[in-house]
Amino acid sequence: MTTNLYPPSPIEVPKKLTALPASYQTRAFLAILSILLFFVLYGALVVALGYLVHWAITYDIGNVNKVTILGKVGAVAGSVMLFFFTLKFIFKLKNHKRENRIKLTKKDYPELWSFILKICNETGAPKPKAIYADPDVNAYVSYTNMWLSLFLPVKKELTIGLGLVSCLNLSEFKAVMSHEFGHFSQRSMKIGSYIISANTIIHDMIFDRDKWDDLLDQWRASDLRLSFAAWIITPIIWLIRQVLNLFYQFLNIMYSSLSREMEFNADKVAISTSGSDAIISGLWKLDSGFEKWNSTINYAYLASQKKLFTENLYTHNNLSLSRIKDAQSALLNALPKDKRGGKTFFTGSEHSKVNMYASHPPNDMRQDNAKIPFVPCESNENSPWLLFGNQEKLQKEMTQLIYQQYVNKKAEKFCSVEEFENFIASENHGKELLNEFGNSFENRFINIPEIDTLEKELDGVDLRASNYEKLKKDLETLMQPVKNIESLMVKAGEIAQGTTKDNSFAFKGKTYKKKTIEEGYGELVTEREKLFSETFIDWDKAFCKFHLALAKKESK
| Per-residue pLDDT, 154 | 62
Q: What is the pLDDT of residues 71-87, one digit of tens each?
A: 888 889 989 998 988 88
Residue 109 in this model has a pLDDT that exceeds 80: yes
DSSP annotation string for 301-339: HHHHHTT---S-HHHHHHHHHHHTHHHHHHHHHHSPBPT
Please tell me the distance from the alpha carbon of residue 503 to that of residue 223, in angstroms, as a whole number: 55
Torsion angle of the four alpha carbons 472, 475, 476, 481, in this order, in degrees rounded to the nearest 10: 180
Query: In this structure, are residues 363 and 330 in contact, taking their beta carbons and an 8 Å threshold?
Result: no
Mean pLDDT for 462-484 is 90
Our CA angle for 520, 522, 523, nearest 5°, is: 65
3-state secondary structure of 40: helix
| Biggest alpha carbon–alpha carbon distance for the chain | 106
Q: What is the pLDDT of residues 151-177, one digit of tens each?
A: 555 677 899 999 999 999 999 999 999
Averaged confidence pLDDT in the chain: 85
| Burial zone of 71 (CB within 10 Å; 0-12 exposed, 13-18 middle, 19+ buried) | middle
| Per-residue pLDDT, 345 | 93
Torsion angle of the four alpha carbons 22, 26, 28, 34, in this order, in degrees rounded to the nearest 10: 180
Query: For 168, which DSSP code?
Result: -
Query: In this structure, are residues 153 and 98 in contact, taking their beta carbons and an 8 Å threshold?
Result: no
Please tell me the distance from the alpha carbon of residue 137 to that of residue 139, in angstroms, as a whole number: 7
The type of residue at 487 is S
Residue 144 in this model has a pLDDT that exceeds 60: no
| Per-residue pLDDT, 52 | 92
Residue 188 in this model has a pLDDT that exceeds 90: no
Q: What's the pLDDT band for 372 if we cut at 50, 70, 90?
A: very high
| Per-residue pLDDT, 66 | 80
| Per-residue pLDDT, 22 | 82
Please tell me the distance from the alpha carbon of residue 536 to that of residue 482, in angstroms, as a whole number: 11
Query: In this structure, are residues 513 and 523 in contact, taking their beta carbons and an 8 Å threshold?
Result: no
Q: What is the pLDDT of residues 504-528, one digit of tens each?
A: 899 998 999 888 888 999 999 999 9
| Per-residue pLDDT, 1 | 47
| Burial zone of 88 (CB within 10 Å; 0-12 exposed, 13-18 middle, 19+ buried) | middle
Listed in sequence order, the DSSP H helices in 20-65 are 22-58
Cross-strand pairs, 142: 157
| Per-residue pLDDT, 106 | 94
Residue 377 in this model has a pLDDT that exceeds 60: yes
> What count of other Cβ atoms lies within 10 Å of the Cβ of residue 135?
24
Please tell me the distance from the alpha carbon of residue 106 to that of residue 176, in angstroms, as a whole number: 21
Q: What's the pLDDT band for 185 if we cut at 50, 70, 90?
A: low
